């Protein structure tokens, strides 16, 4: 079946006045939705603890809605601990529903580890006109991702979704490396454990997919996937003939890396990811300005890419087209 990427969402121009400037003495009040991921603790530490050497100023987590998915073990077994730490150590107010959360905050981090409820969870946020960052995965299907983009566009609310690997120092360095010349292709690799309620790459392989699209840009026209128990090799063919490859790792040493193929040079990543600070800097800047650092069209294309990879696997590795 052909995957159709509707150009439903361009970079939203925020019609509401920016929440604050970088020089504002009052931090933006941030609410969390979904307390079943370690991101809620890591993000709160960086935003709320000014003594932290990696502190990101300009925003502060003040309220949270618990959420949770009982049919996902990593949600069910961790949510109570994360909730208790936010409430007891960081003095974050735990509220009963998302509508109440929105009345207490200026902006929202939608953090639920499960992509399935994101569409329903974001609806009251959009109704309240709160800018929102939606953590990976944006959704558990291309259809839901497209609907989120449509609703946000119609509501005039700015949003974006991204893996922290998009803003990894090495991803940025290689993307802008003059020594490589024009980028002709890229091979990226990263861990790719799966979860039965999500298309395979959307659960964790999305990190590597995000790196690939950061480097290659949009314009993928077809996807093929070779799958074994321990490894995925997913190859995207771009409309200008360039090839981009994701190696998803489930067995053996698991790490992230990039090989960039340019007209002038072949370059490789030289260090390991350094945490969430670069992503949070972009999120706070987004909350301050209303300008998203990632075009929603590119995010939608990534989700079509990942669903096409599942279809290719189901059909024995044949190429699956992405058409507009």
Quote the mean pLDDT of the chain: 93
Tokens describing residue 47: 């935003």
At which residue do the structure tokens 């690799």 appear?
189
- Taking residues 216-243, what's their average pLDDT? 97
Overall residue count recorded for the chain in this entry: 324
Diameter of the chain by CA atoms? 57
Give the span between the Cα atoms of 274 and 33, in whole angstroms: 25
- Taking residues 166-179, what's their average pLDDT? 96
pTM recorded for the entire structure? 0.91
Closest CA relative to residue 223, chosen from 154, 285, 122, 301: 301
Tokens describing residue 129: 């006109």
Res 4: pLDDT: 43
Res 274: pLDDT: 86
Peptide bond into 137 cis (omega under 30): yes
Tokens describing residue 219: 């314009």
Residues 95-152 pLDDT 10s: 999 999 999 999 999 999 999 999 999 999 999 999 999 999 999 999 999 999 999 9
Residues 243-295 pLDDT 10s: 999 999 999 999 999 999 999 999 999 999 989 999 999 999 999 999 999 99
Closest CA relative to residue 32, chosen from 138, 124, 105, 118: 105
Domains of the chain: 20-130 (3.40.50.720), 165-274+307-323 (3.30.360.10)
Residue 95, beta-bridge partner list = 65
Residues 2-57 pLDDT 10s: 444 443 333 333 444 455 544 556 999 999 999 999 999 999 999 999 999 999 99
Residues 139-148 pLDDT 10s: 999 999 999 9
């Amino acid at each position: 079946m052909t995957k159709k990427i509707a150009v439903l969402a361009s970079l939203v121009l925020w019609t509401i006045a920016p929440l604050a400037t970088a020089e504002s003495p009052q931090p933006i009040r941030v609410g969390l939705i979904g307390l079943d991921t370690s991101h809620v603790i890591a993000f709160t530490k960086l935003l709320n603890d000014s003594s932290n050497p990696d502190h990101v100023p300009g925003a502060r987590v003040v309220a949270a809605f618990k959420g949770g998915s009982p049919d996902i073990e990593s949600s069910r077994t961790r949510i109570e601990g994360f909730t208790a730490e936010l409430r007891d150590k960081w003095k974050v107010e735990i509220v009963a529903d998302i509508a109440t959360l929105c009345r207490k905050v200026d902006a929202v981090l939608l953090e639920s580890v499960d992509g399935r409820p994101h569409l329903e969870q974001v609806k009251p946020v959009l109704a309240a006109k709160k800018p929102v960052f939606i953590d990976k995965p944006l959704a558990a299907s291309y259809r839901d991702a497209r609907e989120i983009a449509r609703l946000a566009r119609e509501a005039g609310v700015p949003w974006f979704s991204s893996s922290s690997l998009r803003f990894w120092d090495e991803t940025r360095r290689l993307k802008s490396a003059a020594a490589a010349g024009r980028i002709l292709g890229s091979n990226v690799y990263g861990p790719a454990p799966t979860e039965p309620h999500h298309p395979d790459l959307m659960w964790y392989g999305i990190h590597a997919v995000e790196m690939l699209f950061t480097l290659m840009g949009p314009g993928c026209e077809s996807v093929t996937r070779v799958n074994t128990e321990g490894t995925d090799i997913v190859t995207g063919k771009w409309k200008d003939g360039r090839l981009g490859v994701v190696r998803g790792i489930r067995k053996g040493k698991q790490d992230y890396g990039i090989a960039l193929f340019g007209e002038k040079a072949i370059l490789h990543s030289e260090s390991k990811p350094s945490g969430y600070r670069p992503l949070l800097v972009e999120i706070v800047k987004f909350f301050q300005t209303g300008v998203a650092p990632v075009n929603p069209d590119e995010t939608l294309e990534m989700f079509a890419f990942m669903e096409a990879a599942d279809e290719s696997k189901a059909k024995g590795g044949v190429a699956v087209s992405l058409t507009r």
